Amino acid sequence: MLLKKIRSGASISIDLGEANPKQRLFYLSRTLYTAYGGARGGGKSHAVRVKALGGALVNPGIRILIVRRTYPELQYSIIEPLFRLAPPELASYNGALHALSFVNGSLIKFGHCSAHSEAEYQGQEYDWIFIDEATQFTYDEFRTLGACLRGTSAVEKRFYLTCNPGGVGHSWVKRLFIDRDFHTDPREPERSEKPEDYSFIPATVEDNDALLKGSPQYLQMLSSLPESIRRAHRHGDWDALAGQYFSEFRMDAHTAEPFAIPQDWACYRAFDYGLDMFACLWIAVDFEGRSYVYRETRAKGLIVSEAAKLMLSMTPAGERIAYTIAPPDMWSTQRDSGQTIAEIFARQGVELVRAGNARIAGWLSVKERLRLDEGGVPQLVIFRSCRGLISDMLSLQHSETNPSDAASEPHDITHAPDALRYFCHTRCLPAVRPEPSCFDDDGGEEDYDAVMTGGEAGGGYMCWQ
């Protein structure tokens, strides 16, 4: 594929290679969000390079952002090959700014998004955004980067993603682009996900003739992988390699629309605290022992007293909390003050109950509550208004060193699940039904014999003290 540009009366031809049919679909897609990939070897990174370069040359002044999880990955797979494609007469690379500038005013910015670095992109504006290997990103990171998709230019805003099954973002990518399971919120229509905004272009190694000709052994390598990995990487099977720690979590079974919590249900709070994130859950337990997570909050950068005040401010007056469950490190003495975090919470009016910190046993307690009984009903339900916890539950992966444990990275998605783990691993009593009254209080005249002898045998005898 040749792209010709005219500069100062001279014609410059740029050889972008021959696009395969799936790559052409990617180049021509006009939906707001376009995902490309599935199996390995489908030519994803090349498609990103060509689409970005073509967009920069054809649309003067366009601002483009290309992101990968780490900068070394970006340098090897995107920056160096793209720099070789871009003629020096038309573009120059600034290594300090990690940007490719074009003589027509266009800009391609290269960035990475390691843990907690997504804040670096706040306030920036781009016309096109690319995430290469999107399943390595959390849903919140995807949405944070999406907030940068804005500006006053006439260029149509587009978000392009490449992806393979597996990784921390497997669940949300599969939900949006494979299952097409979109979240809607009638109360906040602007937050609803619109099906017409999302398109997926599946590709396998068979679609990439250039790779098969240049590396014929690559197909054999993919075919010799272990069964589940082979199904994912060779054939792009999104059900083969989820890596999701809570694989039993189902939106239809484990979430519910919010409802008013009955006053006689037992209510608890559970939280995880750190300066990087304070996450607190409010959980109600009904008469049968079923638990409902009905409220959540999370905030970054709070000192202990601020976290306690936030917790109290979000607990309505009159809402009775049996107790608040906290991680055991809240009782560790602070070197600078000689006091514990639990003492600071107590001074703010929040008495804490210490949770166990056995990780695997705690996670198994969560899984036990997620288990469906014969009627398909779990012992743990999360209100759909608790979007953060649901997203974290879907994103949490298995630990690479201990498959029985959950991964501790990315760290920002572990706080709310940890709070849930503390609750599930702590003995919390169900609500107690009020006992029926033993006396008839209809105001009628009492019969002497009935009062003295008890009258006819009935349910009241069961209440006699």
Domain ranges of the chain: 16-235, 251-424
Distance from C-alpha of 118 to C-alpha of 144, rounded to nearest angstrom: 7
Distance from C-alpha of 100 to C-alpha of 212, rounded to nearest angstrom: 31
101: enclosing H helix or E strand: strand 99-102
- CATH code linked to domain 16-235: 3.40.50.300
> With 70 as the cut, is the pLDDT of residue 431 above it?
yes
> With 60 as the cut, is the pLDDT of residue 366 above it?
yes
What pLDDT shows up at residue 221?
86
> With 80 as the cut, is the pLDDT of residue 428 above it?
no
Backbone angles phi, psi at 130, to 5 degrees: -120, 135
Distance of CA 412 to the CA centre of its chain: 10
Report, as an integer, the average pLDDT of 283-309: 95
Longest distance between any two alpha carbons in the chain, whole Å: 118
Which residue(s) pair with 34 in the sheet? Answer: 160, 199
Q: Are residues 201 and 207 in contact, defined by beta-carbon separation less than 8 angstroms?
A: no
Distance from C-alpha of 441 to C-alpha of 34, rounded to nearest angstrom: 69
Q: Residue for token digits 């949006």?
A: 176
3-state SS assignment for residue 252: helix
Q: What is the DSSP string of 397-432?
A: BB-SS-TTSBP--SGGGTHHHHHHHHHHTS--PPP-
Report, as an integer, the average pLDDT of 250-274: 94
Structure tokens at 192: 């609803």
Q: Are residues 245 and 396 in contact, defined by beta-carbon separation less than 8 angstroms?
A: yes
Lowest mean pLDDT segment, chosen from 63-72, 245-254, 386-395, 439-448 = 439-448
Structure tokens at 299: 């905030």
Q: Residue for token digits 């160096």?
A: 80
Residues 6+ apart with CB under 8 A from 452: none
Better-scored residue on pLDDT, 407 or 325: 325
Q: Are residues 68 and 112 in contact, defined by beta-carbon separation less than 8 angstroms?
A: yes
Instruction: Look up residue 427 and give its amino acid.
Output: R
Q: Are residues 375 and 419 in contact, defined by beta-carbon separation less than 8 angstroms?
A: no
Closest by Cα among 288, 178, 321, 189 to 238: 178
Backbone angles phi, psi at 205, to 5 degrees: -65, -25
Binning pLDDT at 50, 70 and 90, where does residue 8 land? Answer: very low
* Among the four given CATH numbers 3.30.420.280, 3.40.50.2000, 1.20.1250.20, 3.40.50.1820, the one describing domain 251-424: 3.30.420.280
What pLDDT shows up at residue 113?
80
HSE-up of residue 420 (Cα within 13 Å, Cβ side): 31
> With 80 as the cut, is the pLDDT of residue 448 above it?
no
Q: Are residues 89 and 37 in contact, defined by beta-carbon separation less than 8 angstroms?
A: no
Binning pLDDT at 50, 70 and 90, where does residue 307 land? Answer: very high
What pLDDT shows up at residue 329?
93
Distance from C-alpha of 410 to C-alpha of 70, rounded to nearest angstrom: 13
Lowest mean pLDDT segment, chosen from 4-18, 293-307, 367-381 = 4-18
Residues 6+ apart with CB under 8 A from 117: none
Lowest mean pLDDT segment, chosen from 157-161, 191-195, 380-384 = 191-195
> With 60 as the cut, is the pLDDT of residue 242 above it?
no
pLDDT per position as a tens digit, 29-70: 999 999 999 888 888 999 999 999 999 999 999 999 999 988
| The total number of residues written for the chain in this structure | 465
